[in-house]
Amino acid sequence: MINNFIEPIINKKLSIVGTIFTTPGITVEAISKVLGFNLSFCKRTIIELIHHSELALKNTNGHYYLNNTAGIIQYNSETYQQSLLLKYLSFALNNNDENTSIINVSFTLARSTSSIYGARRLANKALKEYHLKLNHNTVTGDELNKRLLIALLNVKYGFKIHPITDTKRQILRTLITKHFNSDNVIVNIDNIFLLELISLGVNRSKFDDNLHLVAKLNRFKTPLFDQQVKNFIDDYFTSLNIHNSLSKSGYQYFKFIFFNGLHH
């Protein structure tokens, strides 16, 4: 899990937010005791939360309440944006130049070279969880695992690599309903992670040759499902005014993610 490698102070702040949300009326002393965090750190974090414009943390005689879900999501995203590890991973996943130097990364991320070296060491450890690795300052390995990690960074951590627009998201929901959803088979059109993976299938199609999916696909080859996927792809490409055809590996990728998105 990437969370295990994110800077501890970030995880601590988010833990405090989560604890206040799930334990209405909790005091700062109780937060410190429950989480095992230093009391001074908890107090400083509470002050930060009080001054966050969207969070709307309520203080009633030292008892704290937080029920603004949208504000929590925004705060979490802003806090994750402070993570150099996540910034570096986002850069490396989007970088296709294996000759990119540490100095170049340092300039791009506006951080010292020593801190970039530290982030790269952590990134290598995190990438092993996804069977990926770094080659200088770019991520190498199975394209499927790259897309899964990119989607995670997009959805959970707010790092927009090949971002999907609201318009495209609505097109995808409409086409999924048209081609897949029936009485006995349903694809959840509100599964944001799935929508991201579909979008990545188009945005990263030039890397389809690095997909290794054949063995995983043999167990669900059915004519009906094949046709559903094909019809969806044709409609989606038409809506995007894309006229080039999808490669065999790219087609297999769409089959894979749709199969895993099915709810029978």
**Structure-token pair, residue 66:** 């937080």
Mean of pLDDT values over 165-191: 84
The pLDDT confidence band at residue 110, using thresholds 50, 70 and 90, is very high
**Structure-token pair, residue 119:** 């982030």
The pLDDT confidence band at residue 186, using thresholds 50, 70 and 90, is confident
Percent of the chain whose predicted confidence (pLDDT) is above 90 = 62
pTM: 0.87
Tell me the average pLDDT of the chain.
89
**Angle between helix 166-179 and 223-239 (nearest 10):** 150
The pLDDT confidence band at residue 83, using thresholds 50, 70 and 90, is very high
Strand pairing class (133-135; 58-60): unpaired
Compare 162 and 222 and report the one with higher pLDDT. 162
Compare 262 and 256 and report the one with higher pLDDT. 256
- Tens of pLDDT, residues 199-258: 999 999 999 988 886 555 555 557 778 888 889 999 988 888 887 778 888 888 888 888
Q: What is the pLDDT of residue 246?
A: 81
Please name the residues in contact with 93: beta carbons below 8 A apart, sequence gap of 6 or more.
139, 146, 149, 150, 153, 161
**Structure-token pair, residue 51:** 């001054």
Where do the DSSP E strands lie in 51-119?
58-60, 63-65
Q: What is the pLDDT of residue 261?
A: 75
The pLDDT confidence band at residue 15, using thresholds 50, 70 and 90, is very high
Distance CA(167)–CA(116), nearest Å, equals: 36
Q: What is the pLDDT of residue 264?
A: 43
Q: What is the pLDDT of residue 5?
A: 93
Q: What is the pLDDT of residue 29?
A: 97
Mean of pLDDT values over 31-38: 96
The pLDDT confidence band at residue 181, using thresholds 50, 70 and 90, is confident
- Is the pLDDT score of 9 beyond 60? yes
Q: Provide the 10 A C-beta neighbour count for residue 240.
A: 12
Interior angle at CA 144, CA 143 and CA 150, nearest 5: 85
Q: What is the pLDDT of residue 54?
A: 86
The pLDDT confidence band at residue 260, using thresholds 50, 70 and 90, is confident
Closest CA to 257 of 205, 197, 184, 210: 197
Q: Provide the 10 A C-beta neighbour count for residue 260.
A: 11
- Tens of pLDDT, residues 120-161: 999 999 999 999 999 989 999 999 999 999 999 999 999 989
